[in-house]
Chains A and B, each alone.
Chain A
Amino acid sequence: MAAGDLTVLQFSTQSTANLTAKVHPLVIFNICDCYVRRPDQAERVIGTLLGSVLPDGTVDIRNSYAVPHTESAEQVALDIEYHHNMLVSHQKVNPKEVIVGWYSTGLGVTGGSALIHDFYSREVPNPVHLTVDTGFRNGEGTIRAYVSVNLSLGDRQLAAQFQEIPLDLRMVEAERVGFDILKTMAADKLPTDLEGMEVTMQRLLALIDDIYKYVDDVVEGRVAADNSIGRFISDTVAALPKLTPPAFDKLVNDSLQDQLLLLYLSSITRTQLGLAEKLNTAAQIL
């Protein structure tokens, strides 16, 4: 080795500086389901992540599927043909979803993971590795995402380092369905419109109560005033459109009348249907 040049261990961080990953709740459901169904001798589940890369560089992970693999102390073997078959099938339905990485259950990154990561980096330039801790080892289910960064010494490649990237769990879809349904082990029935409305209104009421209490506390000096919150509250209250009471009443009454009219129309239609039914089947040619 030539003396004199100081060789520095380089971490190439520029490419990963802005990389973040977004995970949809379906992926987590998929992973958990595959983990629960894994064959008895396997300790963890490995699979492919599908999604797309958004224009601002974030990796959007939308779907996943498990890939059967065999693992021993020294080596890991992945069923590549299965992986390709599933990929082709999935792309028939949604050609926009491409491979963006792979996942494995378990807390940390193990030695075998580097090999698998190598395999995936042949398919995709910069695969994301997602780990989902199904064992709840830290007392909570940690979900982490990594990318591989090359450590090079001068011109030589030393090793690859798994660097963690920020992960964004977009639970919006799960919220839409309702956490009550997804959280419990058995929900007896899906909520109807009016029941859902009731729940929402209760939540709104609770929020309004909280704000009321907070404002009261601040006014009486029990709680230190936070200017930003105060400004926020005043903005919200000011967002109510300023209508004179008669104009507002007219607006509300008009909408009420529209809805009542529709309700009346639908009741008439149903009555008509009942009558038509009786006439049609009861009529006989004598």
Chain B
Amino acid sequence: LLTQSEAIVIYTGWERHALVGSDIRLSCSFFSWRWTSDDVTFSWSYRPDGARDAISIFHYTGGAPYVDNKGPFRDRLEFVGNPGRRDGSILLKNLDYGDNGTFTCDAKNPPDIVGRASSVRLLVFEKVPIQAGVITGSIIGAVLGLLLLIVVIYYLMRFLVARRVFNLSVRSVPLCLGLGPKPEPIPGLDTCMV
């Protein structure tokens, strides 16, 4: 009976998004309790959206990578992984809408060969919504900033007016007490009665 801890576990992404015409790196790595063997193999296969069967597009074995030279990715596939570090990533170049589909990575680390292959879904967009939320955030920020500004200005005005009134009332006090020379009365300001 083989328990889960003795099987190989393969990791890829869940879903990848890319722009038409761009390149994308599909990563694949694995966990295994054994040392990385010299006979480690990586296999990538591709199943287009809506198709029933998958086609093999990449295989690494015996220390050498073999890329697709007849299929949908001929001249567009490159091996950028490092099998010694358990990395079996591939690079797809110049993507098109026809590349939408599911990519499955299967890795084997002899004698650890029992495991479940892992799939990553590729979605190719015409344009990535790079502006998503930018305008929303700026409108909200502007309105709240304006609100804050109005509140600050209001309290500032109140503070300044109160201070001015306070200053003027302080200056009129010596007139009442009769101490020292009487300064010129400020026109428009009530002087207090002695």
Pair from one complex:
no
Question: A residues near B, CB below 8 A?
Answer: none
